[in-house]
Structure 1
Amino acid sequence: MAKIKFTNLLRRFYPHLAEQIEVPGNTIAQVLEALNQQYPGIRDYLVDERGKLRQHVNIFIGEELIQDKDTLQDTVEEQDEVFILQAISGGCSLKVI
Structure 2
Amino acid sequence: MARIEFTPQLHRFVETPVLDTAATQLGDGLAAAFAINPRLRGYILDDQGHVRPNVVVFIDGRRARDLRGLTDPLGPDSRVHVLQALSGG
Q: Same fold (TM over 0.5)?
A: yes
CA-CA distance at 1:89 after TM superposition: 4.2
Aligned-pair RMSD on alpha carbons?
A: 1.6
TM score, norm. by length of structure 1: 0.81
C-alpha separation between the residues in 1 aligned to 2:22 and 2:45?
A: 19
1: distance between equivalents of 2:21 and 2:60? 15
Query: d(CA) in 2 for partners of 1:5 and 1:29?
Result: 14
Q: Does residue 42 of structure 2 align to residue 44 of structure 1?
A: yes
Where does structure 1 lack aligned partners over 5 or more consecutive residues? 92-97
TM-score (norm 2): 0.88
Match of 1:2 in 2: 2
Q: Is the 8 A contact 2:16 2:40 kept in 1?
A: no
Any runs of at least 4 consecutive aligned residues in structure 1 with deviations exceeding 2 A, and if so which?
Answer: 88-91
Between the aligned residues of both structures, percent identity stands at 33
Cα deviation per residue 1:1-55 (whole Å; 9 max; x = unaligned)? 21112211010112x434x321231111101110001112212211111111100
Matching of residues 25-64 of structure 1 within 5 Å: 25-64=23-62
Do 1:24 and 1:34's aligned partners in 2 also have CA atoms closer than 8 Å?
no
CA distance in 2, matches of 1:61, 1:76: 8
Structure-1 residue corresponding to 2:81: 83
* Native 8 Å contact 2:57 2:82 kept in 1: yes
